[in-house]
Amino acid sequence: MPNRLAQETSPYLRQHADNPVDWYPWGDEAFAAARAEDRPILLSVGYSACHWCHVMAHESFEDAGVAAVMNRLFVNVKVDREERPDVDQIYQTAHQLLGNRSGGWPLTMFLTPDGKPFFGGTYFPKDPRYNLPGFVQLLERVSQAWHTQREDIDRQNDELIEMLGRTVQSRDADAGLPGPEILTAVRDELLRLSDPVQGGLGGAPKFPHPFEFEFLLRRSAATDDGVARRAVMLTLTKMAEGGIRDHLGGGFCRYSVDGQWSIPHFEKMLYDNGPLLRLYADAWLVSGDPLYRQVCEETAAWVMREMQAPEGGYRASLDADSEGEEGRYYVWTSDEIAALLDPESFRVVALRFGLDRPPNFEGSHWHLRVARSWDHVASEAGLTPDECIALVDAARARLFVVRETRIRPGRDDKILASWNALMIEGMAHAGRVFGRDDWIDSANRAAQFVRTTLWLDGRLLATCKDGRAHLNAYLDDHAFLLAALVELLQARFDPVDLSWARAIADALLERFEDPDDGGFWFTSHDHERLILRTKPGHDNATPSGNGSAARALVRFGHLVGESRFLNAAEGALRLFAPTMVAQASGFASLAMALEELRVPPAVVVLRGPDDGLPVWQRALAAEYRPAAIVVPVGQADVRLAEVLDKPVSDVVNAWVCRGVACMPAMTSPAEVLAALGSA
């Protein structure tokens, strides 16, 4: 019989609905059972696309013997970290404090019946290996400790709760707004961490870090910083050529297990690909590199083909595994490829992707990554580079068609407000840069899905699956969505979206702002009470909620002329100022907010006939101007900042404004670009 997880919206939880484990979802029922039976809680946190989550599930949670021990000794709670990032944040932090080591997924934590963690780890094997105890052995030891060492556990819990409280940023009364020197400090630290040969930050495992490299690209433009620019371009080129990118279907995997971007963990996450799409579009504006354009086109095509639901929202992720094996869907033998191509095409493909070298995946297969430059391939093949490109493109198309016949990795179809917002922003921005109305249409459809399905009675919900929307939305949902709407308004101005953005900005202040210390809580004021209320400022795989909120509020505040939004952003920056000084490289998103708070973004207002706007938009999007907001208001009757309230005439006119001052009306895009260059 299915357990309680069968009624949940999370595909990850449903994957465990047929386990012999008596799973509970997170909630009052589980904690009440633990209190009534005086049993500790075994909390297991993971997500649908997680390879090691699947391994632990197959080894232990699907095993009747292991499940019997779990059911006898514990109340077992399963959590999807994507639906409940509030729970995941708390217990990841607790794991780090208890074990003095980084966390990850699956996260395995043992809690008292009131939710306080007293022991934990990540993946545990069923039988002892990897210098880890066997899972059943561990369960019995933890249960014995619970029943025989209660006083020690209670004492440790008191200390842990105090330590957890100290992880929440508190206000330093003497801290002012960070000065411009913090921008240099962030830049210098990021460059010190950058790999000068393979790009990226640090060594293996290697993650994309799109927001850190967005910051460096902005710095390179603001200060003509060639070193920062080269670090960005090296990273983006190496990623685009590496195996972290899907060379047949488009999009990027979550991270590379090696330092050369060659072999990824094969899950594809929406939250990586939206920001990367935006970053590659901007890098193309700066460099004109056709590889970056190709990356954008193939990533956007993958998003619309595989991740966008018919109703408009973007699905969450693709699994790492298929047929029970990680990467099976993506890898090839040389013979498989040779059988699908003519000899000349195979020779060129083999040269380009290194099929003439030893296999790079588990000793017998190849995962495609670029091995040689086009000039090298052309020289070896006796062809021109253009001829080689044409042969490889045709071969990639052929391999893609064949790969589509394989058993596909699982797809997590839930629609998350925060991750949708990141992809809406990426699609709208890239669509604007490349003049792709279909990409903007895609972003707009997703935004309208969020508005009609997840925005109910003036409240934002976090997730939707099969028409069922629920869970209080978090800080990230609101902050990312406000940023996405500011971007969408530039791609295609809609007064409805402007009104909705104002409501989201209002909700940020009303439900998340800390009026005493400044900054924003991760959970709303009326959220379920947990053992800790976090206030994240440090960037992780996604930008921090406080950094994103501050940056979006600065931009929106200048757009609508309301100082309360700017003041809230300044409060967050003052709160995190001391930590930014101490750990500069971890706060790129707050640093970008600081840039635009100190020097207000230039707002370009376009007024006039709607059919005249596209020419202006294409011209103004053709140059990299990260600190400019271009608002194609056209003939709409809207309420912007008073200084931006410009008249409508029978031709398009533009005004370049910064703060409370505007330049005279301009009659050509060239005038605007010149004004932005001198502003």
CB-neighbour burial class of residue 580 (10 A; exposed 0-12, middle 13-18, buried 19+): buried
Neighbours of 36 (CB within 10 A): 10
Contact 315, 270 (CB under 8 A): yes
Structure tokens at 601: 């973004």
- Provide the Cα torsion 514, 88, 214, 673; round to 10°: -50
Other Cβ atoms within 10 Å of 668 Cβ, number: 14
Q: Which ranges in 255-360 belong to alpha helices (H)? A: 270-287, 290-302, 334-340, 343-353
Q: What is the pLDDT of residue 224?
A: 95
**Tokens representing residue 591 in the block:** 């640093």
> For the residues 217-233, what does the mean pLDDT come to?
97
**DSSP character string of 572-585:** HHHHHHHHHHHSGG
The amino acid that residue 221 corresponds to is A
Contact 410, 458 (CB under 8 A): no
Token readout for 361 is 């995946």
pLDDT tens, position by position, 90-105? 999 999 999 888 889 9
Q: How far apart are CA 145 and CA 654, in angstroms?
A: 71
What pLDDT was estimated at residue 131? Answer: 84
Q: How far apart are CA 584 and CA 596, in angstroms?
A: 17
Read off the tokens for 316: 């969450």
Token pair of 298 as six digits: 């193939």
- pLDDT at residue number 530: 97
Chain segment 545-589, per-residue pLDDT in tens: 999 999 999 999 999 999 999 999 999 999 999 999 999 999 999
**Residues 205-211: what's their mean pLDDT?**
97
Distance CA 153, CA 147 (A): 10
pLDDT digits (tens, 9 = 90+) for 635-676: 999 989 999 999 999 999 999 999 889 999 999 999 999 999
Give the amino acid at 143.
S
Residue 1 and residue 19: Cα distance in Å, rounded? 9
CB neighbour list of residue 528: distance below 8 Å, 6 or more residues apart: 472
- Amino acid 242 reads G
Cis peptide before 2 (omega within 30 of 0): no
Any idea what the Cα angle at residue 180 is, between residues 177 and 181, rounded to 5°?
110
Task: Yes or no: say if 565 and 509 are a contact pair by the CB < 8 Å rule.
Answer: yes
What tens digit of pLDDT does each residue of 124-135 get?
999 998 888 999
pLDDT tens column, 528-549: 999 999 999 999 999 999 999 9
Residue 33 has pLDDT above 70, yes or no: yes
Q: What pLDDT score does 659 carry?
A: 87
Considering the chain, what is the average pLDDT of its residues? Answer: 96
The answer to whether the pTM exceeds 0.85 is yes
276-293, pLDDT tens digit by residue? Answer: 999 999 999 999 999 999
Q: What is the pLDDT of residue 1?
A: 73
Q: What is the largest CA-CA distance in the chain?
A: 83
Question: Tens digits of per-residue pLDDT, 389-412?
Answer: 999 999 999 999 999 999 999 999
The C-alpha angle 95, 96, 100, rounded to 5 degrees, equals: 120
CATH numbers and ranges of domains, the chain: 4-166 (3.40.30.10), 181-322+412-598 (1.50.10.10), 330-405 (1.10.10), 602-678 (no CATH)
The Cα-based distances of 210 to 107, 174, 422, 541 in angstroms read: 25, 33, 12, 9
3-state class (DSSP) for residue 411: strand
Q: CA 36, CA 283: separation in Å to the nearest integer?
A: 58
With a cut of 70, say whether residue 679 has pLDDT above it.
no
Confidence of residue 678 (pLDDT cuts 50, 70, 90): low
Stretch 620-640: mean pLDDT: 94
602-607 and 628-634 beta bridge pairing = parallel
Closest CA to 16 of 51, 53, 41: 53
